[in-house]
Amino acid sequence: MRPTIGEQLAGVSRILAEVVTPALVDPYPADIIGGLIATLDAIAAAWADVPAYLAWDANRTLALLAAAAADLQDAHREALDVLTRDRMVDVPDIRSLEEHHRAARALLADVVAGGIPPAIDAAVRAHLRDRADRYPLVVAQRMPGQR
């Protein structure tokens, strides 16, 4: 499909930067559009990696919790069973993937809030650190006055 999603996002960003931005006089919209362009550039560069990231994060989260299934509260174990049974295999179904990922993260958040089972404590912490490193969307946005 041409233009691809990435090409369209990058093209819109370029037009905003080259055509629209120079015409902006007021400081507020001139400042705001810089953030919009940075966001479009980041999405253009990374959108294709997002589904695989969500699938990896959800699957890794469920695998971690499964390793301590016996130590989980009943409600958490039941939620884990459902999510594992419904594990996403059809990655291109983005809306379902987003919901599945949200549910896996919600279960992990509940488990963490209640106290991480010792058997997976280190692995959960390591995963949270790992997923932060792997997060695909990086926006090069500057703070006011930042050079």
If one asks whether residue 145 binds another protein (CB under 8 A), the answer comes out as yes
Helix (H/G/I), strand (E/B), else coil: 61: helix
Q: Least distance from C-beta 130 to another protein, angstroms?
A: 10
Instruction: Write each residue from 86 to 115 as x if it is in contact with another protein (CB under 8 A), else as -, in one continuous string.
Output: ----------------x--xx-xxxxxx-x
CA atoms in the 13 A half-sphere facing the CB of 7 = 4
User: Residue 128 burial by CB count (10 A; 0-12/13-18/19+): exposed, middle or buried?
Assistant: middle
Measured from the CB atom, is 2 or 144 closer to another protein?
A: 144
Contacting residues toward another protein, per CB under 8 A: 26-28, 30-32, 35-36, 39, 42, 102, 105-106, 108-113, 115-116, 124-126, 128-129, 131-133, 135, 137, 139, 143-147
